[in-house]
Amino acid sequence: MRGTLRASAAIVVTLGTCAAGIALGAGQPGPSAAAQPRPPTKRAVPRPRACPAPRVASAPWLDADRAEDHYDDRARHVAFDVIVNPGADAELRGKFAYGRSSHDMEAEWVVALLRTRACGPWLEVGRARTDGDGRATIRAPGVRLAAPGRHEFAFVVPADGSFALGSVWALRRGAEVVVFDIDGTLTTGDDEVIAELTVGSEPEMYEGANDLARAWASSGRQPVYVTGRPYFLQDSSRRWLEAHGFPPGPVRTTDQMSDSLTNREHVGRFKRDYLRDLLAPTGVVVAAAYGNALTDVCAYAEAGIPQARTFIIGQYAGAACDRSPVTQGVRTYPTHLVWAREHLLGRPRPTPAGPGRSTSR
């Protein structure tokens, strides 16, 4: 009890002293009080406005029984990035599935939405029913893609509101792109994607790979990421690139699981065909192409990319495809970036390096 009384008395004395000081200060402020600056007024910092998520009017499943059996798990939809010229129509393609076993969403409606500016409103450009493989294609009119740059699009499933995001990249003819493989080129090994699939480990990045990609982007060239990863790893690949500071760019995964087989007849052919289909119609120019495997070496050569602009890291650095000239070897990205700044990045068009293997670039 006495301890309580003493504590109470101490509180009363303390409060009384403070009150007296406040009263004295209010009546006649001393010189030290007058000299003290008034604390700055705190202003509320506005929160960044969240971009609206893609939404469409709800509609029932066309096959309710199948939906109940297979579509109540996590959506694993994919919207494939596409490159076109400004003002050209774009074919928006998507793959729709659910669950870890990837049950295809068959014969159901999907709606394609497009943004004409960053964080702008979503505009419907079409709708279609998926095929037996859970795929759909919708054409976006070129009038919506007149401005060069990135245009975000979305596929939305009206029955449950799930969606997938992709981008249309409108590049002018003559624009320069830089092609990057991912596994073993930006990551330290081809087998890291297997570890990502099986145990969920995050792939390790080659030192300086992101600095190199940023340097190319800062010079006005558009990075394009072309990987043999299967389509269902597209979103995780985008997240990995973003988390490691790579500049934004189209991410192109395989269409079919068989295309991911690591040989020339499968992943090599997929990359070759994609690059051929990209370069001829759009007229974009490859300033440089980076890879690590013989499949990259041959895919780039067969797509018409000069070996002087083909840079290979790892055990196949400087390798050739069949009787083609040898590619340019890369020992490390930091040393290669020093060389590239002097010979490539500061020029409007890359100057081809001389023939022969070079592991100092």
CA distance 157 to 65: 17
Give the pLDDT confidence score for residue 36 in this predicted structure: 58
pLDDT at 22 over 80: no
Long-range contacts of the stretch 309-316 (C-beta < 8 A, 24+): 309/350, 309/352, 311/336, 311/361, 313/184, 313/185, 313/206, 314/184, 314/185, 316/292
For residue 351, being part of any structural domain is answered with no
Write down which residue in 170, 188, 214 finishes a domain. Answer: 170
Neighbours of 103 (CB within 10 A): 17
Q: How many domains does the chain have?
A: 2
State how far the Cα of 196 lies from the Cα of 187, in Å rounded to an integer.
12
What tens digit of pLDDT does each residue of 263-293 get?
888 999 999 999 999 999 999 999 999 999 9
pLDDT at 38: 59
Please report whether residue 350 resides in a domain: no
The one-letter amino acid code at 309 reads R
Q: For residue 136, give the CATH number of its domain.
A: 2.60.40.10
Instruction: Please indicate, yes or no, whether residues 150 and 242 belong to a single structural domain of this protein.
Output: no
Same structural domain for residues 241 and 291?
yes
Write out pLDDT tens, residues 314-353: 999 999 999 899 999 999 999 999 999 999 997 654 433 3
- Domain range enclosing 75: 64-170
Do residue 197 and residue 279 come from a single domain?
A: yes
Q: Which of 170, 192, 207 is the last residue of a domain?
A: 170
Please check whether residue 359 lies inside any domain of the structure: no
pLDDT, tens digit (0-9, with 9 covering 90-100), for 294-307: 999 999 999 999 99
**Residues 241, 306 share a domain:** yes
pLDDT mean over 97-110: 94
Q: Answer yes or no: is pLDDT of 1 > 60.
A: no
Lowest-pLDDT choice from 32-36, 43-47, 60-64, 233-237: 32-36
Query: Is residue 39 in some structural domain?
Result: no
Q: What average pLDDT does the segment 29-39 reach?
A: 52
Tell me if 260 is assigned to some domain: yes
- Domain membership of residue 324 (yes or no) is yes
Same domain, 253 and 135: no
Kindly report the CATH number assigned to the domain that includes residue 251.
Answer: 3.40.50.1000
Residues 93, 240, single domain; the answer is no
Instruction: Answer whether residue 191 shows pLDDT above 90.
Output: no
Residues 189 and 248 in one domain: yes
Q: What is the pTM of this model?
A: 0.82
Give 114-159 pLDDT, tens digit per residue. Answer: 998 889 999 999 999 999 999 999 999 999 999 999 999 999 999 9
232/321 same-domain check: yes
Domain stops at, among 149, 170, 191:
170
Are 162 and 270 within one domain? Answer: no
pLDDT above 50: residue 11: no
Output the pLDDT for position 117: 87
Question: Does 165 share its domain with 314?
Answer: no
- What pLDDT was estimated at residue 334? 98
Q: Is the dihedral of CA 129, 120, 82, 205 positive or negative?
A: negative
d(CA 95, CA 189): 28
**222 in the same domain as 137:** no
Stated length of the chain: 361
Q: Give a yes or no: residue 266 inside a domain.
A: yes
Judgement on whether residues 329 and 236 belong to the same structural domain of the protein = yes
Q: What's the average model confidence in pLDDT over 44-62?
A: 83
- Asked if residue 167 lies in contact with residue 150, where contact means CB atoms within 8 angstroms, the answer is yes
Whether 164 is covered by a domain: the verdict is yes
Q: How confident is residue 43, by pLDDT bands cut at 50, 70 and 90?
A: low
For residue 314, the one-letter residue type is: G
Count CA atoms within 13 Å of residue 244 on its CB side. 22
